[in-house]
C-alpha cells in the first residue's frame, strides 16, 4: 500500500487512546518477572476478547505466551510482537503509578520489580494497534497475528513459544515485525537495513577457593582476590585482543562472594555478559574468556577447575533488506524527518527474530523514542544527554506516555498495513 495512502488512511482511523493510557499505568504499576507474567498475559487476553473483533485467542504458549489471530480474507500473514516481562530493579522514578511490587525470582530470592525496559509500553501499544487494525478491516485483507511474548529478558521466550507448538496454533507468518522503546526523543522512529541488534551471551562463572578465618589468609585460597584478578584481566580482552575495527562489549555485571568481613569465603560467582555483531568475533571473545578464567584460577591456586555455565544467549537480529525497505518507505511517508532509516546497529539484544528465523521467514525491527521532547531538547542543548536522560534498565527510566504511545501504535499499524493489501 503506498505510503501516501497509508497516511491518509491512518489519519481518518484514529482510536481513543485515553483508555490505553490508563491501561499502560496499570501495566507499569504491576510488573512481573520473566517466566511469571501470568497476570499481564491474562489482562492482555481479556482485553483482546473484550474488543469483540473476531480474534482467535491462544494462551499459555511456551509459558505465559499469548497470541491473537484475526483472519480477514486472502493476503499475507503478518505477525506483530510485544514482550511482557519486567526486570529486578527498584523503581526510583517518583511516578504516581510507580511499581512497588516485589517477587521471588528463579533463585527464590525476593526482588523489587520494575518495567525498566518499557515492555509495558510495548504491550499497551500492541493492544491498541490490535483494536485499530480490527476497526480498519474494510481497508485491508490478509491475516494479522498479535503475539505477546514472555521471558524476553532471559532470552528464552520466543524459542519456548516455538518449541511449545506456536505454529500449530497460529499460521506461520510471512513477515515478523517488532519494535522497542528507547531513550530517544519522543515521536522519533529509528531503524536500519541488515544487522539491527547485537548477539549476546551471558555466563555464570563459579570460582573455587578454600575458606577460612579472615586473620589467617595464608591458610586459605581467597576467591575474592581470585575473582578480582579475573575481572580485571577480562577487561583486556576487548581492549587488547579484539581488532579496533570490530565491535565487542564485555561487562561483568555481578560479583558475589562471602557474607561478612572476617570470613574468607570458599567460592565466588562472577556473572559476565558479552555483546558482538560478528560470529568470528564472538567465538574469539568467548574462547578468551575461558582462557583468562582458567589461567587466573590456576595462578591463584584454585582448589578445582572453574565452572563456566551459559545462562542466556540472544541471536544476532538482522533486518531483511527487502522487507525493511518497504517498511522504511512507509515510515518516511508518515513520519517524515522524525524517521531515521540509518541508525547504528544497537548494542542491545533481542530474541524476537527467532519467531521468524525458526520458520525461515524475514523480520524487521525498529525503535521509537520515549523521552519528553522538552527534556530531551534541553539536555541536548546543554550537552548532557548521557547525564540527564535515563536509559533502559535504569531505575529512573520513565517514558512520557504521549506522544510515545501514539507513536508506538502508529508504527505497528503502518508496518502491518504495508503488507496487508485490500
List the one residue out of 46, 132, 84 whose CA is nearest residue 352: 84
The Cβ-side half-sphere exposure at 335, using a 13 Å CA radius, reads 30
Q: Which residues contact 312 (CB under 8 A, 6 or more apart)?
A: 154, 155, 156, 200, 201, 202
What is the C-alpha separation between 313 and 350, in angstroms, rounded?
A: 10
Give every CB contact of residue 384 below 8 A, 6+ residues apart in sequence: none
Cα radius of gyration rounded to whole Å, the chain: 23
Distance CA 19, CA 408 (A): 15
Alpha helices, DSSP H, located in 241-320: 279-300
Which residues have a Cβ under 8 Å from the Cβ of 415 and sit 6 or more positions away?
80, 177, 327, 330, 331, 364, 366
For the annotated catalytic residues, the residue numbers are 85, 152
CB atoms < 10 A from the CB of 74, how many? 9
Give the pairing type, strands 199-208 and 248-257: unpaired
d(CA 64, CA 106) in angstroms, rounded, equals: 15
Question: Pairing state of beta strands 189-190 and 339-340?
Answer: parallel
* Angstrom distance (rounded) from CA 27 to CA 18: 15
Give the span between the Cα atoms of 367 and 191, in whole angstroms: 6
Of 24, 19, 51, the C-alpha closest to 130 is 51
Q: How far, CA to CA in Å, does 192 sit from each of 58, 282, 326, 343, 368? A: 32, 22, 12, 6, 13
DSSP assignment of 297-311, as one string?
A: HHHHT-SSPPEEEEE
Nearest of 204, 230, 208, 250 to residue 107 by alpha carbon: 204
Count CB atoms within 10 A of the CB of residue 77. Answer: 19
| Beta pairing, strands 307-314 & 189-190 | unpaired
Amino acid at each position: 500500500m503506498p505510503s501516501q495512502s497509508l497516511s491518509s488512511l491512518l489519519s481518518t482511523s484514529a482510536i481513543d487512546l485515553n483508555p490505553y493510557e490508563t491501561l499502560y499505568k496499570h501495566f507499569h504499576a504491576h510488573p512481573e518477572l520473566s517466566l511469571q507474567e501470568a497476570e499481564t498475559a491474562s489482562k492482555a487476553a481479556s482485553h483482546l476478547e473484550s474488543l469483540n473483533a473476531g480474534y482467535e485467542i491462544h494462551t499459555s504458549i511456551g509459558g505465559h505466551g499469548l497470541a491473537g489471530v484475526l483472519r480477514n480474507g486472502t493476503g499475507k500473514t503478518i505477525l506483530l510482537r510485544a514482550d511482557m516481562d519486567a526486570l529486578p530493579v527498584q523503581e526510583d522514578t517518583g511516578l504516581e503509578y510507580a511499581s512497588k511490587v516485589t517477587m521471588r525470582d528463579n533463585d527464590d530470592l525476593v526482588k523489587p520489580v520494575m518495567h525498566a525496559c518499557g515492555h509495558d509500553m510495548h504491550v499497551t501499544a500492541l493492544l491498541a494497534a490490535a483494536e485499530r487494525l480490527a476497526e480498519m478491516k474494510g481497508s485491508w485483507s490478509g491475516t494479522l497475528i498479535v503475539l505477546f511474548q514472555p521471558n524476553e529478558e532471559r532470552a528464552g521466550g520466543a524459542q519456548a513459544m516455538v518449541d511449545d507448538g506456536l505454529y500449530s496454533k497460529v499460521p506461520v507468518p510471512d513477515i515478523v515485525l517488532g519494535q522497542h522503546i528507547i531513550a530517544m526523543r519522543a515521536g522519533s522512529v529509528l531503524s536500519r537495513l541488515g544487522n539491527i541488534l547485537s548477539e549476546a551471551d551471558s555466563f555464570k562463572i563459579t570460582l573455587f577457593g578454600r575458606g577460612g578465618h579472615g586473620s589467617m589468609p595464608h591458610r586459605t585460597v581467597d576467591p575474592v582476590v581470585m575473582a578480582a584478578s579475573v575481572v580485571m584481566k577480562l577487561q583486556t580482552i576487548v581492549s587488547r585482543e579484539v581488532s579496533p575495527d570490530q565491535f565487542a562489549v564485555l561487562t561483568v555485571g555481578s560479583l558475589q562472594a562471602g557474607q561478612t568481613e572476617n570470613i574468607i569465603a570458599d567460592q565466588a560467582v562472577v556473572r559476565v555478559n558479552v555483546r558482538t555483531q560478528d560470529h568470528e568475533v564472538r567465538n574469539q571473545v568467548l574462547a578468551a574468556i575461558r582462557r583468562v578464567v582458567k589461567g587466573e584460577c590456576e595462578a591463584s591456586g584454585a582448589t578445582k577447575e572453574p565452572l563456566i555455565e551459559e545462562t542466556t544467549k540472544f541471536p544476532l537480529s538482522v533486518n531483511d533488506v527487502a522487507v525493511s525497505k518497504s517498511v522504511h518507505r512507509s515510515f518516511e511517508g508518515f513520519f517524515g524527518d522524525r524517521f531515521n532509516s540509518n541508525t547504528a546497529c544497537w548494542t542491545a539484544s533481542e530474541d524476537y527474530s527467532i519467531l521468524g528465523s525458526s520458520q525461515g521467514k524475514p523480520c524487521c525491527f525498529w525503535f521509537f523514542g520515549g523521552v519528553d521532547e522538552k527534556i530531551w531538547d534541553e539536555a541536548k542543548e546543554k550537552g548532557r544527554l548521557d547525564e540527564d536522560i535515563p536509559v533502559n534498565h535504569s531505575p529512573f527510566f520513565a517514558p512520557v506516555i504521549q506522544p510515545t504511545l501514539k507513536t508506538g501504535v502508529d508504527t505497528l499499524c503502518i508496518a502491518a498495513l504495508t503488507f496487508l493489501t485490500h
